Amino acid sequence: MTYTTQMDAARKGIVTEQIKTVAEKENMRVDDLMAKLAKGTCIIPCNKNHHSIVPEGVGEGMRTKVNVNLGISKDANDVELELDKVRHALRLGAESIMDLSCFGKTQEFRSRLVEISPAMIGTVPMYDAVGFYDKELKDISTEEFFKVVERHVEDGVDFLTIHAGLNRAAAERIRKNERITSIVSRGGSLLYAWMEQNDKENPFYEHYDRLLDICEKHDVTLSLGDGCRPGCLADSTDAAQVEELITLGELTKRAWERNVQVMIEGPGHMCMDEIPGNVMMEKRLCHGAPFYVLGPLVTDIAPGYDHITAAIGGAIAAAAGADFLCYVTPAEHLRLPDLDDMKEGIIATQIAAHAADMAKKIPGSRDRDNAMARARADFDWCGQFGLALDPERPREYRQASQPEVEDSCSMCGKMCAMRTMKRVREGKDLGMAK
């Protein structure tokens, strides 16, 4: 029996190698995973042309996954530097890489990324179209947009961010309800401008069936972009955002009718108390499709520290049911991140994802924390470093300030509470006077 996509295979009862791999990783019964894939509440983004991939699942009952944004731009177009970032991101355990390249040799970077990356890869073809054709946005035709989509898919990209829900109705909603930051989605703003300048409908909304044809052929997941996501707290959960989300729910059902896997992208910037409601709204309006969020950033006043504001929002969102977190770095809103920025962003987002997994009671999610607790109680420093999300930093801190005795740190020394309790229980002298 043949199949077109992982969703199609699940619906036909075919156990693919990708399904086996993900079920094992997630400690999930194959039958349970297939039921979720068939329903659309889980996805396995895995392009048939991405031969180096080690598949991951995203969705209901699974570990929260972390995405890292990379790519070349006109102001920072060093392909080798970006590939070095890719290798660092993979070593740090990122499950996904989004290539947001928008200038120059985008295909060279994309092809090399697909070749070396076991992580799933996403792109935003709209970014690439502007640089690829090297002409005014308004002069790019619908046919040309779709040629770029086809090229990305043929190159092996596992998921595509397409802002198909930002149609003319949503654009009108934005005009009637003024925002402080208007449209902050790069792809969304480009499509809005194209629609305005050409007095036409969003080509990806108007020709959505053609997009589904491409995705179905190569088993590419659609990441339905939130072109109306809020760019500040004041704009969150407004009419435009909600109207677009309703449209995305309709587009989700159309994709599922073609066995095309879907996830939904979400905000953005948002006050903490709104986050659980937004997750619930997405799950309701988009029929349980996996939710992929950027942050949300919970305050607008922390430039240089937005990896922290995003991690706070990401932890709340994932604990409420979001499935996939896009990392945010300290350089967000300010510059292209360097290697250090990238590392800070990945670790902060991994902390948020892991904390949420424990809150969601994902099987096995507390095992590592319990092992760390035992290593601390035993003063097993090497064990602690090995269990840490980032082994390098705690090792550096330990080496930089050596204590008088090995069973303590330089903050408490012999008055360490754990040391005191351990020695008392073992019938040993505390050794304070020595």
pLDDT digits (tens, 9 = 90+) for 67-85: 999 987 777 778 888 899 9
The two three-digit tokens of residue 343, written as one number? 């590392």
Tens digit of each residue's pLDDT (9 = 90 or more) over 197-208: 999 999 999 999
Per-residue pLDDT, 301? 98
CB 227 within 8 A of CB 191: yes
Report pLDDT for 71: 86
Provide the pLDDT for residue 106: 85
Q: What does the pLDDT average to over 289-310?
A: 97
Token digits of residue 376: 């601390």
Output the known binding site for Zn(2+).
Answer: 269, 333
Residue 207 to residue 162: CA distance in whole angstroms: 12
pLDDT for the residue numbered 432: 80
Annotated binding site for substrate: 69, 98, 127, 163, 185-187, 226-229, 265, 292
Binding site, annotated residues for [4Fe-4S] cluster: 409, 412, 416
Give which of 319, 320, 314 is closest to 297, Cα–Cα: 314
pLDDT of residue 134: 81
3-state secondary structure of 172: helix
Contact 217, 229 (CB under 8 A): no
Nearest to 93 by CA among 122, 114, 63, 115: 63
Calculate mean pLDDT across residues 232-259. 97
Residue 89 to residue 338: CA distance in whole angstroms: 12
Q: Is the confidence at residue 47, as pLDDT, over 70?
A: yes
Strands (E), 37-162: 42-43, 58-59, 65-70, 96-99, 120-123, 159-162
Question: What is the SS3 assignment for 326?
Answer: strand
Token pair recorded at residue 378: 């035993």
Distance (Å, whole) CA 75 – CA 237: 33
Top pLDDT among 34 and 79 is at 34
Instruction: Dump the DSSP string for 43-66.
Output: E----TT-TT-----EETTSPPEE
C-alpha 218: how far from chain center: 21
**pLDDT band, very low/low/confident/very high, at 406 (cuts 50, 70, 90):** confident
Per-residue confidence (pLDDT) for residue 135, from 0 to 100: 87
| Cα–Cα nearest to 357, from 308, 319, 324, 325 | 319
- Residue 59 CA neighbour count, 13 Å, CB half: 30
Q: Is the pLDDT of residue 58 over 90?
A: yes
Compute CA distances 273 → 90, 148, 283, 294, 316, whole Å.
33, 40, 17, 16, 9
Percent of the chain clearing pLDDT 90 (strictly above): 83
Q: Give the residue-averaged pLDDT of 275-300.
A: 98
pLDDT range class, residue 124, cuts 50, 70, 90: very high
Do 106 and 128 touch, CB atoms closer than 8 A?
A: yes
Instruction: Map out the domains of the chain with their CATH numbers.
Output: 6-359 (3.20.20.540), 367-425 (no CATH)
**122 pLDDT more than 70:** yes
Calpha distance 262→158 (Å, rounded): 11
Confidence label for 430 from pLDDT (cuts 50, 70 and 90): confident
Residue ranges of the annotated binding site are: 69, 98, 127, 163, 185-187, 226-229, 265, 269, 292, 333, 409, 412, 416
Asked if pLDDT for residue 105 goes beyond 80, the answer is no
How large is the average pLDDT for residues 136-163?
A: 97
Tell me the pLDDT of the chain averaged across its residues: 94
The pTM score is 0.95
Exposed e or buried b per residue across 276-295, where buried means at least 16 C-beta atoms within 10 angstroms of its C-beta: eebbebbbebbbbbbbbbbb
Q: What proportion of the chain, given as a percentage, has pLDDT over 70?
A: 99
- pLDDT at 313 exceeding the cut of 70: yes
pLDDT of residue 434: 62
